[in-house]
Amino acid sequence: MTKIPATVLTGYLGSGKTTILNHMLAGQHGKRIAIIINEFGEVGIDGQLVVRSEEDVLELSNGCICCTIRGDLIRTVDSLLSNDRSFDHLVIETTGLADPAPIIQSFVLEQTLSGRLELDAIVTVVDSRHITTQLASEQAREQIAFADVVLINKTDLVSEPELATISKKIRMLNPLARIHFTRMGQIDLSAVLSVKAFDLKNLLRLDPRLLDDTSHQHDEDISCVAISEPGITDDGDLMRWLNRLVQAQGRDLLRIKGVINLEGEDRRFVFHGVHMTLDGRPGKPWQLNEPRMNQVVFIGRNLDRETLRLGFAACVRPT
């Protein structure tokens, strides 16, 4: 039986994984791609940000596939493979805090995955603007070290000398990975799909204990706060609150993302934030009978759930 190639798309919080995933789905490659999206919090945001055509898109929330919901990944893949709808390629988008090692273990050691799938490449997305700070995190370093392909993203936000410095730092962590530079996630799909770049022997030289079945722990001081509020959000109140929030807690806010129901808008408003940076734009249209729920996820340090909930609730009024 021919194995189906699988790509693991990883990268630290806010690096641009979902943007690159959308570029994959919109590309003219003639492949039918199945997608598994893993989110750290109990509220799934990324699934609403993915361009959906005829692809199977499945979400795994409230945990990380490298640890707490690893079994869910195996069951989800098994369900996909048992489905009558065939696909040519599987892409797994991990949380920004994922450790690639346990995921590689699953592909090599778990019969459900190893018998039907072939790990094609670990593709790691790097945020040019914030990677120097993010390298203080063990997760960020490991994501680069285990990568077969590194996409240095958001190149328009840094200078050429800064890009050269970033490239050197990445090469120090991983001298073998193929490196590509991207802007807004634009990449030739031949560089990330069906590249046959995964090499277990090289990784075992990097970490001889890679296949040891050890548990993975995230940084203990990083937590997630997920908020869901029905109603209509005032855009002015929302932006003023978010701007005050990032000014006060920007260093601790590793990632913010949200899907918002703005008054009089037929499209959902989506926004993203990394530390002090915020960006928002119209997203996909609301469906006719779809509940218009406002959802925001914060990932960071020293997060006060109740303060965040009350601050956001003040921006929303009942329908």
pLDDT tens digits, one per residue of 274-305: 777 788 888 888 888 888 889 888 888 888 98
Q: Spell out the alpha helix ranges (H) of 83-124.
A: 100-109, 111-114
| pLDDT of 85 | 62
Task: Return all residues near 50 (Cβ < 8 A) that are at least 6 apart.
Answer: 18, 21, 22, 25, 35, 37, 57
Q: How many angstroms separate the CA atoms of 233 and 225, rounded?
A: 19
139 neighbors 98 (Cβ within 8 angstroms) = yes
Quickly tell me which residue has 């003639």 as its tokens: 30
Whose CA is closest to 89, among 51, 55, 126, 58?
A: 55
Q: Tell me the mean pLDDT in the region 203-207.
A: 73
67 pLDDT above the threshold of 50: no
| pLDDT of 58 | 62
Q: Tell me the mean pLDDT in the region 107-130.
A: 87
171 pLDDT above the threshold of 80: yes
Domains (range + CATH), the chain: 4-206 (3.40.50.300), 222-317 (3.30.1220.10)
The C-alpha torsion from 138 through 140 and 145 to 150, rounded to 10°, is 180
55 pLDDT above the threshold of 50: no
Quickly tell me which residue has 């956001």 as its tokens: 312
Quickly tell me which residue has 């978010």 as its tokens: 242
Q: How many angstroms separate the CA atoms of 42 and 20, rounded?
A: 23
Q: Would you mind telling me the total number of residues written for the chain in this entry?
A: 319
130 neighbors 177 (Cβ within 8 angstroms) = no
Q: Regarding beta strands 253-260 and 267-274, do their DSSP bridges make them parallel or antiparallel, or are they unpaired?
A: antiparallel
| pLDDT of 315 | 93
Distances (CA, A) of 177 to 47, 143, 165, 201: 29, 11, 16, 14
176's tokens: 């073998």
Task: Return all residues near 319 (Cβ < 8 A) that are at least 6 apart.
Answer: 230, 231, 232, 292
Share of the chain above pLDDT 90, in %: 26
Q: How many angstroms separate the CA atoms of 291 and 270, rounded?
A: 16
Q: How many angstroms separate the CA atoms of 316 and 296, rounded?
A: 12
217 pLDDT above the threshold of 60: no
| pLDDT of 54 | 44
